[in-house]
Amino acid sequence: MKVAAIQHDVVWEDRAANFERLAPQIAAAAGAGARLVVLTEMFSTGFSLDVDAVAEPVDGPSTAFLVDQAEQHAVWVCGSLPERPEGEALPSNTLVLAGPAGQVHRYRKIHPFSYAREHERYEAGDQLVTVEVEGLRVSLFVCYDLRFADEFWGLAPATDLYVVVANWPESRRHHWQSLLVARAIENQAYVVGVNRVGEGDGLVYAGDSRIVDPLGEVLAAGARTEALLVAEVDPAQVAAVRERFPFLQDRR
């Protein structure tokens, strides 16, 4: 299966502008043969803590955009967004995965970024999520989750590919690059890490998106500009690596 990472800029807190910018990029990814297309964290607003300005209801405009794009191009599309369920005081930073037949799966970020006080504005999730996408077992994570290896380890036996969407600042770019490769090597699985570029709320984002194979080799990488990264991933390769190097069974 081909997987696409769309490394894109974000117009701050302007959904309509971001939908307009992203639609042709998703079309290009589908045109390149991708079956799974990954956008960034908070793809439609940027990483805003002004929840009164950006929070949307379940199945709100950002989810509707993902669903429409998935159906229009007959692919799977995902990205995170600020979603507030009815009756909840705070929204969650929710990674929504939409499928070509109208499927919608949600992962709510388990680790809000307390360093930036995200935990004061967004409710933490409590459920890990793995979805089968056309025979590929895909586990979903958001940005800061990447620093917590235990969740990745726990899902490893049932995961072929980890998706990590992010707004990871340039000042810690080396951490981002290193941890993506580490998670792939540790768990003998593919990792698709998609980070934004540009500036938002005073922070600079360098991109550095990666598609990494189960041995830690980088199959595709982005730099500081918008880019479409495409690579082939194969669950049979995950199985072969784990059979050749049976490291997972030695965990305690």
- Residues assigned a catalytic role: 41, 109, 143
Distance, in Å, from the CA atom of 248 to the CA atom of 70, rounded to the nearest integer, reads 34
Distance, in Å, from the CA atom of 144 to the CA atom of 113, rounded to the nearest integer, reads 6
Contact 167, 193 (CB under 8 A): no
Q: What are phi and psi of 25, to 5 degrees?
A: -70, -40
Distance of alpha carbon 21 from the chain centroid: 18
The two tokens of residue 56 are 């949307």
Q: Among 200, 199, 209, which residue's Cα sits nearest to residue 163?
A: 209
Contact 19, 65 (CB under 8 A): yes
Which are the contacts of 214, defined by CB distance < 8 A and separation ≥ 6?
184, 188, 189, 190, 237, 238, 241, 242
Q: DSSP alpha helices (H): ranges in the chain? A: 15-31, 51-54, 61-73, 149-155, 173-187, 235-244
Distance, in Å, from the CA atom of 161 to the CA atom of 118, rounded to the nearest integer, reads 27
